[in-house]
A and B are shown apart, each in its own frame.
Chain A
Amino acid sequence: MSSSLRALVRHPQFAAGVREMSGVSLGIAAWGLVTGVAMVKAGLSIPLSLLMTFTVFAGSAQLAAIPLMGAGSPAWVVWATALCINLRFVIFSAHWRPFFMRFPRGQRMLLGYLTADLNYVLFMKKFKEPRDDEGQIEYFLGSSFMSWLAWQLPSVLGIVLADVVPTHWGLGFAGVLALLGLGYALMSDKATSFAAVVAGAAAVAAFALPYRLNMVVAIAAAVCIGLMIDGGGDAGRRVLASLMRSKPRGGVAS
């Protein structure tokens, strides 16, 4: 075990994963710090905050759940909110499946637990199809190791130093900016970008709904508009045509 671990750490793709993830780890770290502070400020005890950071390990869901827990919402509301926000991981897991299928179920699920946003984006940009000769899993484990550290260390720091870390200058916005960059990196073609704009508008329009149900409305609206564009029906074709027209100067042809 220890020799295979050593072989893993020495694998060049492990180092590549660590290196490429460290490029964005400052953003993860700022976000982790903010989440740590937010948990304690919302009234969670330090042991519970530590439990949350080491088990839940999902920044956007935690940031959404924390204020609800602080406000005393019922547990199912907190769970429903986190579920909506984490829905994207369900989609990601379908994309991870071919890369992970050669492992037994237990290991597969451990790998799955580590699949956060940024290692998804880095991995899927780098590897187009599953192959077992280019160190894909080593790369994944390297980037996951780095993102885990970059998240957990500042998060613990934030929990312990919650009363000292100043937040009034907008540290928390680093998390939003990280998600923004992530979203831009995921924009693969005009149809998905257009669906994302629809989702953003729907999320604002439905914001008054309880329990962050605006997330569900937004995702449903985006999927509907996407299916409409894909479906080749009359309305969808017209939307698609206008999207194709709308960018006359040297953009990507999709």
Chain B
Amino acid sequence: MSELESFITIIGLTAITVVTRCFFLVSDRELRLPGWVQRGLRYAPLAALAAVVVPEVIMSQGQLIATWQDARLWSVLAATLYFFWRRGILGTILVGMAVLVPLKLLAGW
């Protein structure tokens, strides 16, 4: 991408941030969504997160990983156990990294 193209892309990305975060804040009138849309939308945020996270954990280069010797798996396992034990996001990150880094650096996974 040229500098100009990158610039335009970044401006567009900014617009996307504003439009998505302010979507239901713009109108002064109450927006009445049909009931099924409201119910359906309840499921979307978590689904979007899962759709970002799951491929990052169990895929590399567009393929499912075929080995258990992957630091990410053990990191996520430890982070998950921690979360459901203590329910803290910071601890989840720290525990996950504490498992990931040694496995990557020492075991080369």
Q: Which of B45-104 contact A (CB under 8 A)?
A: 45-59, 62, 64, 71-72, 75-76, 79-80, 83-84, 87-90, 92-94, 96-97, 100-101, 104
Tell whether, in the assembled complex, residue B48 and residue A85 are in contact, meaning their CB atoms are under 8 Å apart: yes
Contact A88-B83, Cβ < 8 Å, known A27-B93, A61-B17, A178-B89: no
Contacts of A87 in B (CB 8 A): 20, 44, 48
Q: Contact between B53 and A48 (Cβ–Cβ < 8 Å)?
A: no
Please tell me if A40 contacts chain B, counting CB pairs below 8 Å. Answer: no
**Total of A-B residue pairs, C-beta within 8 Å:** 273
* Contact residues, B22-43 vs A (CB, 8 A): 22-26, 28, 31, 33, 36, 39-43
CB neighbours (8 Å) of B5 from chain A are: 75
Asked whether, in the complex, the Cβ of A187 is within 8 Å of the Cβ of B46, the reply is: yes
Question: Does the CB pair B105–A93 fall under 8 Å?
Answer: no
| Contact of A69 with B51 in the complex, beta carbons under 8 Å | no
A199 to B8, CA, bound (A): 32
The answer to whether A113 and B49 have CB atoms under 8 Å apart is no
Q: Does A156 have its Cβ within 8 Å of any Cβ on chain B? A: no
- Contact between chains at A174 and B97 (CB < 8 Å): yes
Is B97's CB under 8 angstroms from A56's CB? Answer: no
- The reply to whether the CB of A242 lies closer than 8 angstroms to some CB of chain B is no
| Interface contact B21-A113, CB-CB below 8 Å | yes
State which size class the interface on A falls in: 35 or more
Q: A91-B41, A94-B41, A192-B42 are in contact. Are A218 and B47 (CB under 8 A)?
A: yes
- Picked from B39, B52, B59, B79, the residue with its CB within 8 Å of the CB of A227 is B39
Residues of chain A with a CB closer than 8 A to B97's CB: 30, 170, 173-174, 177
Give Cα A159–Cα B72 distance, bound, in whole angstroms. Answer: 26
In the bound complex, what is the Cα–Cα distance between A111 and B22 (angstroms)? Answer: 8
In the docked arrangement, what's the CA distance between A202 and B47, Å? 10
A100 at the interface (CB under 8 A from B): yes
User: CB distance A96 to B25 under 8 Å?
Assistant: yes
A18 contacts partner chain B, Cβ-Cβ < 8 Å = no
Known contacts A69-B6, A88-B44; is-contact A93 B23 (Cβ 8 Å)? yes
- Give 11 CB contacts A-B under 8 Å: A26-B94, A56-B13, A58-B17, A69-B1, A108-B26, A121-B89, A169-B101, A180-B83, A181-B90, A181-B92, A204-B64
Q: Which residues of B are in contact with A by a Cβ distance under 8 Å? A: 1, 3, 5-14, 16-18, 20-26, 28, 31, 33, 36, 39-59, 62, 64, 71-72, 75-76, 79-80, 83-84, 87-90, 92-94, 96-97, 100-101, 104-105
